[in-house]
Amino acid sequence: MMQGFPPKPEAQVTLANWRSPPFHVWGFQHVREIVPSADIPNAPNAVWQLPSRPDDLSRITFEHKGKRFDFESFLRGTDTDGIVILHRGGVVHEAYAHGMTRHTPHILMSVSKSLLGIIAGILIEKGVLDLDRGVADVIPELGDTAFAGATVGDLLDMRAGIHFDEDYLATSGMIVDYRKSHGWNPREPGDPLSDMRSFFRNFKQSDGPHGGRFRYVSPNTDLLGWIIERVTNTRYADLVSTQLWQPMGAERSAYITVDRLGAPRCAGGVCATAMDLARIGQLIVQSGRRDGTAVIPVSWIDEITEHGDTEAWDHGDFAGYFPNLSMHYRHKWYVVRGVRPLLFALGVHGQYLFVDRTRQVVVAKLSSQELPLDSELILLTLAGVEAIRAQLD
């Protein structure tokens, strides 16, 4: 893809095809060349240096649905572009494919939501954001929409009773209009100018009560970004930089896609390196602290880990993707419950951040899977991560 000056038409990655195979392999690593973006600067003089402690993961083998996998076949089978594995604060494995390198920012898709969950926790700890505050109280422009009566907490836990069909393969309808509003799809002839903030006024239908079952609606997270910007009077990209990216010691700047008016795509538009994504996981392992300084409130991490609603999850949209697992969703993070809970962030096409606080294991995995949500590859990824956790126990 994108070889030659200019590339041949059939090899050109454009706004119309950048999320579709085979163009997405290149597109996921070059998003800022396709969609407008805002920078999330790091602090180059304060990089968190993670020690290298290589481990031989070729010993990992596991069986999944009657097939035997080793570590390399697991990576290939899940279309891995980049993976970083940490254990007890050291880098035990780092690998890249499909043109990606340690310094390549890759789109995180909905792992971006989990980063917003961290920013929200920091702001709540500072008394700037209130979980119980009504959406329409902060954004009165939405007082006559289905968001009326929902709270910040409802949006964080995906329990706002909003009707929205999140069909990633749809070619028409509200989800396509949503993508056009934030500049991820091209406008068609005759389409009016759109933007993300005005798009929220289209939500007129409810789908149950606020605070009910888990209902996965990506625009909830973009709306939270608007709420955060309004209560802080600060651009979201700048907040991520000052509250997380710089204090964490990110090695590289990240960026986030924005619409034509600069509204951030908080639900899926963050692009970062696999190593910096792993640093977020290590920060969680260390109870939110780096060099003795609190970056993420440990009370927020504990809240995510311990206080999700399993009933809301069991009656929600995604339980079928994770059969026979006791799980919950809290503040934009998934949690597999148990003696050794597994926290993870998930994005379409195979983006993940796994955190095992007990074993002190972090797995940051960025991919270019063909389907947005592939139930078989989700289960294979979970099986592979479980084998990694067992190897590093």
Catalytic residues: 110
Number of H helices, E strands in the chain: 14, 15
* Residue in the block written with tokens 């993976």: 83
Phi, psi values for residue 111, rounded to 5°: -60, -25
CB atoms within 10 A of CB 212: 17
Give the residue from 136, 87, 66, 156 showing the smallest Cα distance to 380: 66
Tokens representing 275? Answer: 């190593």
CB neighbour list of residue 384: distance below 8 Å, 6 or more residues apart? 62, 64, 69, 71, 74, 78
Residue 115: name the closest of 327, 308, 331, 343 by CA. 331
Contact 178, 187 (CB under 8 A): no
- Give which of 270, 256, 268 is closest to 36, Cα–Cα: 256
Contact 298, 286 (CB under 8 A): no
